[in-house]
Amino acid sequence: MRKLLSFFTFFAITPLVLLISIVFFSYRSFQSQNAFNITNLYPSKTIAFSAIPTDPNLIDTQINTSDSRIERLYHFFSVYNSPLANYAQQFVSVADQYGLDYRLLPAIAAQESGLCATAPKDSYNCWGWGIYTHKMTIFSSYADAINSIGRQMSQNYYSKGLTTPESIGKVYNPASPEGWANHINYFINQI
């Protein structure tokens, strides 16, 4: 009787298990093949993939690039809660226009006035530019100051080979050029 039962089990149940397994794995195989085919998700639409735009001018209108120098300056000014944050782009433009290191004017403003925290009221002069005992240079706006000082730094310093904080400090702050240069370098490195 046992042999008969084993025989029956082998020949009756085994084919049934095999048939169910084949159907199950066929279904799973069909499902996995179609799972990654995006066209089955949207059968009524034509889908095209392309790495290159069809219009060469398209890239100019769709990709907005930004100068990381502007972002760095904006962050630097924002950390110190400086009103100069809104002028980050102008600092970079003026530096490019006059061939200056874009970090120089912000570093000088940080050293001379704590990024405008201690600048003379309504002077827009955060650089200590032309401020002596009884004389003070006043600008009409921060934009005016950035442009004017950038131009004068180019004409009076860079054009004469004074391009490092150490060499600029000898003229800009002759009383303490080394200490001044160290502070300028500190702020330049922060940016």
Q: Hey, where are the domains in the chain?
A: 2-62, 68-190
Instruction: State the pLDDT confidence band at 38, using cuts at 50, 70 and 90.
Output: very low
Cβ-in-10-Å burial (0-12, 13-18, 19+) of 91 comes to buried
Q: Which amino acid would we find at residue 17?
A: V
Q: Does residue 108 contact residue 161 with C-beta atoms inside 8 Å?
A: no
What token pair was written down for 132? 């002596």
Name the average pLDDT for the chain: 82
Q: What are phi and psi of 96, to 5 degrees?
A: -65, -40
What token pair was written down for 33? 């093949």
The confidence score (pLDDT) of residue 133 equals: 72
Report DSSP state, residue 175.
T
* Mean pLDDT within 25-46: 55
pTM greater than 0.75 (yes/no): no
Better pLDDT: 5 or 148: 148
**Topology adopted by domain 68-190:** Lysozyme (1.10.530)
The confidence score (pLDDT) of residue 81 equals: 96
